[in-house]
Amino acid sequence: MKRRENFIWGFLIAIAVVIMFFIGIRTYTISKEVRSFNAEEAQEIQGADPQLLETVTKLESDLKDRGNFVFKTDRDPLKLSAVVKSPKLLASMGYNEMSQGIEDMRLNLTIIGDNPYASIKYMGKYEKVKIGDTIAGWEVTEIAEKTVVLRRGSRTITLNNRPAPETLAEEADLEGESWDIGNY
């Protein structure tokens, strides 16, 4: 019986040695793979793709340059009469006189009484004028209800109180009208 026990113990020990050998080999291969992954990761910096880094740097530089840029114009780029050249369309929108800055003037209100005065929007500013005052070289000769008469030399023009062009567009949208410029 002793032989049989010795054989069983020997067999179990042999199997244990073989299993330990295979476990050791498997552990070694896994350890080798982990080391190679760690070596690759050490060489690769996360998010440092050279092309991406160059693109981000350029975008940040462009953004900084744009922040330092100051945009100035001598003329108002949004002035309607500089964009739309159709006299018929401009007249329908209240631009009836198109010479020497008059298209930039708009009568906002008139106050009639002992000392009548008017408010005229010119060059983005509201000017309070009375009879005898000048605005852009034009002398105020008459202030009536919803009109102001201006004179320069032999020329006379009348400013009529009218909605601002953006108000006209809003009203047309509310009433369902379309601004068809093809007919002008």
Instruction: Return mean pLDDT, the chain.
Output: 79
* 100-137 pLDDT tens trace: 455 568 888 898 888 899 998 887 788 899 999 998 88
Note down the domain range covering 141. 80-183
Whether 87 and 175 map to the same domain: the answer is yes
CATH number for the domain spanning 136: value is 2.30.30.830
Looking at the DSSP bridge assignments, the partners of residue 106 are: 121
Banded model confidence at residue 45, pLDDT cuts 50, 70, 90? low
Domain assignment present for 168:
yes
What is the total count of domains within the chain?
2
- In the prediction, which pLDDT does 93 show? 65
Q: Quick one: tokens of 107?
A: 């009568």
* 47-61 pLDDT tens trace: 567 888 889 899 999
Banded model confidence at residue 40, pLDDT cuts 50, 70, 90? confident
The structure's pTM equals 0.38
What is the C-alpha separation between 152 and 158, in angstroms, rounded? 12
pLDDT at 87 over 50: yes
Whether 89 and 175 map to the same domain: the answer is yes
CB-side neighbour CA atoms (13 Å) of 172: 13
